[in-house]
Chain A
Amino acid sequence: MSATGSAAGGDVVLVLVEQHDGTPRGSALELLAAARALGTVHAVLLGQVSDAAVARLGAYGAVAVHVVGVPTPEASLPPAVAAVLAGLVDKTGASTVLVASTFPNKELAARLALATGAGLVVDASAVQRGPDGRVVTTQQVFAASWTLRGEVTAARAVVALKPNAVHAAPVATPVLPPVITHDAATLFDGVPGTRVRVVERTPRPESSRPDLGEAQVVVVGGRGVAGDFSPVEDLADALGGAVGATRVATDEGWISHETQVGQTGVMISPRLYIGAGVSGAVHHRGGMQASEVIVAVNNDVDAPIFEFADFGVVGDLFTVLPQAAAEIRRLKAQG
Chain B
Amino acid sequence: MRIVVCVKHVPDLQAERSFTADGRVDRSQGDGTLSELDEHAVEAALVLTETLGGEVTVVTVGPADAEDAVRRGLQMGAQHAVHVIDDAIAGSDVFGTALVLAAAIRRLGAEGGVDLVITGMAALDGLMSVLPSLLAAHLDLPQATLAAELTVADDVVRVRRDLDHVTEVLEAPLPAVVSVTDQANEPRYPNFKGIMAARKTPVTAWSLADLGIDPATVGDAGARTRVLEATPRPVREDRVLITDDGEAGLRLAAYLAENRLLG
Interface residue ranges, A against B (CB under 8 Å): 20, 77-79, 102-104, 106-111, 113-115, 117-123, 136, 140-142, 144-154, 192-204, 206, 211, 213, 216-217, 239-241, 257-258, 263-264, 266-267, 271-272, 282-283, 286, 293, 295, 297, 301, 306, 309-316, 319-328, 331-332
Contact = CB atoms under 8 A, between A and B. Distances in A.
Given A193-B143, A283-B13, A312 B158 contact: no
A207 to B, nearest CB: 11
A193 B140 contact: yes
Contacts of A217: 261, 263
B37 interface: yes
Contacts of B172: 195-197
Nearest to A264: B182
B61 interface: no
- Interface SS of chain B: helix, strand, loop or mixed? mixed
Contact of A198 (B168, B223, B225): B168
A149 B141 CA distance: 34
- Interface SS of chain A: helix, strand, loop or mixed? mixed
B137 A196 contact: no
B249 A327 contact: yes
A150 B23 CA distance: 9
Given A110-B94, A312-B241, A324 B232 contact: no
Contact of A204 (B14, B167, B229): B167
Interface string B107-132: 00000000000000110111111111
A77 B131 CA distance: 16
Given A151-B228, A313-B244, 17 more contacts: A79-B136, A107-B145, A114-B138, A136-B228, A141-B126, A141-B127, A152-B224, A193-B136, A196-B144, A196-B170, A197-B170, A204-B166, A263-B122, A264-B182, A267-B127, A272-B261, A332-B262
Given A301-B243, A312-B241, A110 B261 contact: no
A201 B132 CA distance: 21
B227 interface: yes
Contacts of A204: 165-167
Interface string B156-179: 001000111111111111000000
Given A103-B129, A149-B228, A309-B239, A324 B168 contact: no
A199 B225 contact: no
Contact of B225 (A153, A206, A293): A153
A206 B165 contact: yes
B168 A121 contact: no
